[in-house]
Structure 1
Amino acid sequence: MANPATLRNLVTRYETLRSTHARLGTPESRRQLEDVSYTLCVTTGTRAVPDALAAAAARLHAVPSAASPGPADVQLTA
């Protein structure tokens, strides 16, 4: 399974392209949605988009997201 950053990117791209295709309905938007759907399925080892999204969600839920450093985590050096 792909690393969490790759999965987050694929899921975000899928959601964006699904919305774009619903709005535009062009052959190009359909092709892009099919491409990212295929990649998401291959990356998660599934055959259907709902299964791929569920697998990605499970993987992302199991791995804590990398938080950006807070003020206490930053060290200033001279």
Structure 2
Amino acid sequence: MLMPHPAMLRRLVEEYQTLMTPEGDGEAGAGRDNLWAQDLACALCVSTGTREVGRAVETARRLLAASHDPESSAIAG
């Protein structure tokens, strides 16, 4: 399996988690954000070789924890 670059993987996880945090209903960009969340989920799955976004995030965290990128350890937990 190809290994994704830690910086790219970290960005995907951070953006996905940001979109998945509960926010107020009726946001003006909610539809656009939903599509972006779907795109991020797909990118995470492809990057980690998984088919479920939950498993993709877990795998991404594990890969980031194993990398030697100091910034990656902050997202791994």
TM class by smaller structure: 0.7 to 0.9
Say yes or no: does 1:64 pair with 2:68: yes
Q: TM-score if structure 2 supplies the norm length? A: 0.73
Q: Report what 1:13 is aligned to.
A: 15
How far apart are the structure 2 equivalents of 1:7 and 1:40? 8
Structure 1: state its 5+ residue gaps.
68-78
Q: How does 1:19-34 map to 2 (within 5 A)?
A: 19=21, 22-23=22-23, 24=27, 26-34=30-38
1:14-67 Cα deviation digits (max 9, x unpaired):
011222xx4238211111111111111111110011110111111111112247
Q: Report what 1:73 is aligned to.
A: none
Deviating above 3 A after TM superposition, structure 1's stretches of 4 or more consecutive aligned residues are none
Identity of aligned residues (%): 37
Cα RMSD after superposing both structures: 1.8
How far apart are the structure 2 equivalents of 1:63 and 1:33? 25
Structure 2: state its 5+ residue gaps.
72-77
Q: More deviation in 57-66 or 8-17?
A: 57-66
Query: What residue identity is the alignment partner of 2:20?
Result: R
The DSSP-based 3-state class of the residue aligned with 1:29 is helix
Q: TM-score if structure 1 supplies the norm length? A: 0.72
How far apart are the structure 1 equivalents of 2:30 and 2:12? 21
Query: What residue identity is the alignment partner of 2:69?
Result: S
Q: Report what 1:50 is aligned to.
A: 54
Q: Considering fraction of residues, name the structure with more helix.
A: 1
